[in-house]
Structure 1
Amino acid sequence: MPQLNPAPWFLILFLSWLTFLIVIPPKILAHQFANEPTVMGAEKPKPESWNWPWY
């Protein structure tokens, strides 16, 4: 049974994982988001109270 010989399959597995670990992560980490979050002030704004009439 040739599928039990690990020599060619291990090399294919190793090279494919090497490709995934070397080529793909820099492409993902270089991704820039369209809207970077802005830093808000440390003081939280005071919420306004509701002026709803109670009928």
Structure 2
Amino acid sequence: MPQLNPAPWYLTMLTIWTIIILIFTPLLMKIQLPNTTEPNKATISLTPWTWSWY
């Protein structure tokens, strides 16, 4: 079974990964999920509190 020269395959893999990163990273950065965990400002309790062991 002949051995393949790794040099062109490494360059091909590096090129493909670079293209994938350059195409998909901006697409993933555009995605903004809505923040549904932020409570309503009108219902927030503004009374101060401390830890029970202090």
TM-score, with normalisation over the residues of structure 2?
0.53
More helix by share: 2
2:31 matched residue in structure 1:
31
Give unpaired runs (5+ residues) of structure 1. Answer: 45-55
Q: Which runs of 5+ in 2 are unaligned?
A: 46-54
RMSD: 2.3
TM (norm. structure 1) is: 0.52
Structure number with larger C-alpha Rg: 1
How many residues matched?
Answer: 41
Displacement over 6 Å in runs of 4+: none
Identity of aligned residues (%): 24
